[in-house]
Structure 1
Amino acid sequence: MPQQEMVFLTPKMMERTALFVTFGGFVTSLTTTFIPFWKTMNSDLNEVENWFSGLWHMCLYTEEVGIQCKAYESVLALPMDLQISRVFMMVSIGTGVMSMLAAFPGMEGVNCLQEPKLKRGLIILSGVLAWISGLTTLAPISIVAYTTVVEFWDEGFPDVMPRWEYGEAMFSGWFGGLALVLGGTLFFIAVCMGDFNQRSQSAPNSPQVKHRARMQYLKTEVL
């Protein structure tokens, strides 16, 4: 009696896992873009005030009033790292949306398209776009992190002056970028699994395999 193998990972399951991971990374990256917690600053002279800086707003938190945010008045007045980060994060959001839109009709079980080559191409495109989205999230986060470290240890600033430090958005941005890169990688793995299954299914029906099977049968008859 032939032994039956249980397959837990199929191209269909891998595609859905990739879409789920990509969606989670996209939501995290989108949230990171607009929350004003990229950098935080707390003055030792006035411990009840906490400053927060993001790509779009500067916020002040006090125990009496709560948090108050104000948008930056001029884009040109922003530091260069924040200007670059704005562009990169917008690219990340756009490519993340396109990655999920391209993946849905290309997935197995979705009957929007019937051409296998076209569906395979859409999954590859989704993986490439997810990679771009992840890298364009990791790049600005890393740039801001680098400038924050350089400014924090700058000996030209007096010791009494408060320094900017990492905010919560930095860590969520790293997580979202890595999730997008992982989602793109899983899309490519799903494509490779689908190609392997197609080769495995077509191999027993190929003329070379049939000829070898017939020759083996004739040798058995002779013996």
Structure 2
Amino acid sequence: WTALFVTFGGLVTSLITTFLPLWKTMNSDLNEVENWFSGLWHTCLYTEEVGVQCKAYESIMGLPMDLQISRVLMSVSIATGGLGLLAAFPGLEGVEMCGGQPVLKRRLLILGGVLSWVSGLTTLAPVSLVAYTTVVDFWDEGFPDVMPRWEYGEAMFSGWFGGLALVVGGTLFFVAVCMGDYDQRPPSVPNSPQAKHRTKHYLKTEVL
């Protein structure tokens, strides 16, 4: 159950990160009362007089390549994370679904772990890609020093946290499978040849 809760928390965090407009922030030194925020779906402008004003991107083709790739990967992350939870839930101990079918439960947990891993990696990849392009643009010497630069937003860190939580949750599913296999190991047979040999050796020792 711990794996389910960790995976669910990572999925919710990744879902929120996908739609937050706080992937990148920009504050102009010429006008300190204006703060710009950029996300995967829209940009926002914050001013003290008006507040927050958001506008969706007009054209997908006009977006930078890193944002286009990030949109696709974050969508894949949400889909695979949701499927991973649905697949792993019937395989948990205490759930009556698929009762009496330990092999099926084991396979469902493995499938849930694989999908959680895919979801976590497809969350970490776009966040890291946007972070890399932000750093490259920030230190680009071709831009004038007076021109404002994009910096990391809060959504970047929540995306990294959500991706790591999904990876950890998938790993815990595999740990649950290994523990289940260990608990289902057949006990050692006392009538085995090795056991008989040890018994005879013990009897000889007693006689001596």
Task: State the TM-score bracket (shorter-chain normalisation).
Answer: over 0.9
Could you tell me which residue of structure 1 aligns to residue 187 of structure 2?
A: 203
Stretches of structure 1 lacking an aligned partner (at least 5 in a row): 1-15
CA distance in 2, matches of 1:217, 1:136: 57
Paired residue type of 1:81:
D
SS at match of 1:55: coil
How far did residue 216 of structure 1 move? 4.1
Q: Distance in 1 between matches of 2:14 and 2:7?
A: 10
Q: Describe the superposition over 1:88-130 as per-residue Cα deviations: whole angstroms up to 9, x where unpaired.
A: 0000000000010001101111111021100000000010000
- From 114, 124, 132, the equivalent of 1:128 is 114
Residue among 14, 20, 24 paired with 2:5: 20
Provide the C-alpha distance between the structure 1 equivalents of 2:28 and 2:44, rounded to a whole number of angstroms.
14
Which residue, 130, 139, 147 being the options, matches 1:161? Answer: 147
Equivalent position SS for 2:141? coil
1:196 counterpart letter in structure 2: Y
Percent sequence identity is 73
Tell me what 2:162 maps to. Answer: 176
Q: Which amino acid aligns with 1:145?
A: A
Amino acid at match of 1:173: G
Query: How far does the alpha carbon of each residue in 1:16-46 deviate from its partner, in whole angstroms, 9 at most, with x for none?
Result: 1111110110010000000100000000000
Per-residue displacement from partner, 1:46-76 (whole Å, max 9, x unpaired)? Answer: 0000000000010000111111101111100
Residue 194 of structure 1 corresponds to 180
1:13 alignment partner in structure 2: none
TM-score by length of 2: 0.94
The one-letter code of the counterpart of 2:187 is: A
The 1-side partners of 2:3 and 2:110 are apart by: 12
Moved over 6 A (4+): none
* Matches of 1:176 and 1:94, distance apart in 2: 14
* Deviation (angstroms), 1:221: 4.9
Q: Does 2:55 match 1:70? A: yes
Structure 2 unaligned blocks of 5 or more: none
What RMSD in Å do the two structures reach over aligned CA positions? 1.3
Could you tell me which residue of structure 1 aligns to residue 92 of structure 2? Answer: 107
Alignment: residue pair count: 203
Distance 1:113 1:72 in 2: 46
* Matched letter for residue 176 of structure 1: G
What secondary structure does 2:184 align onto?
helix
User: What does the per-residue CA deviation read over 1:129-163, in whole Å, with 9 as the maximum and x for residues that have no partner?
Assistant: 00000000000001000000000011111111100
Structure 2 Cα separation of the partners of residues 31 and 221 of structure 1 = 69
What SS does structure 2 have at the residue aligned with 1:210? coil
C-alpha displacement of 1:213 = 3.8
Paired letter, 1:192: C
